Structure 1
């Protein structure tokens, strides 16, 4: 017949290995969580680096486009100034006509 002491000893002999396994699982889960966190941080650093690289490339392309546009505007300005010097009365007439058209459009 089993006494209470025998039952407690049997329960302890079963509980101790289970408790050890639970502690081992907790340690493994903590280690796994740390690894996942490190992987996430590494991935975030990589994505941040890629985003910064893409942004700097976009900025450089934008600056290049602005430089091209400014060059074209300078060329257009030179052409207009040259045409105004060659035909001053025609330029004055065009400016007057353009001003009149704008006045009519914005009056309404």
Structure 2
């Protein structure tokens, strides 16, 4: 076998392997402490879709003005999200404050 044919076959193998691998993206969904049920359900549906497609999700809860004094409302919302999404995702990073935002990262559950 000549060297040119060998190099061609190796590049084909690498190209096939590259096509088969999936790049995991991080999708972000933003909430506010006052997000009502209608908007909550739409965003929840998007989160479920992202997790089922195999992407990680970053949930950002943004506080503005006096909302910073009531961070427990945001914590309750993130807990509610965690319980609503426990069938399709698991918490990778627990909720933590970063400036005026509370951030939680979810990853998809492993398929059996």
Same fold (TM over 0.5): no
TM-score by length of 2: 0.28
Q: Using CA pairs below 8 Å that are at least 6 residues apart, which structure has the higher relative contact order?
A: 2
Richer in strand (by share): 2
TM-score by length of 1: 0.29
Max Rg structure: 1
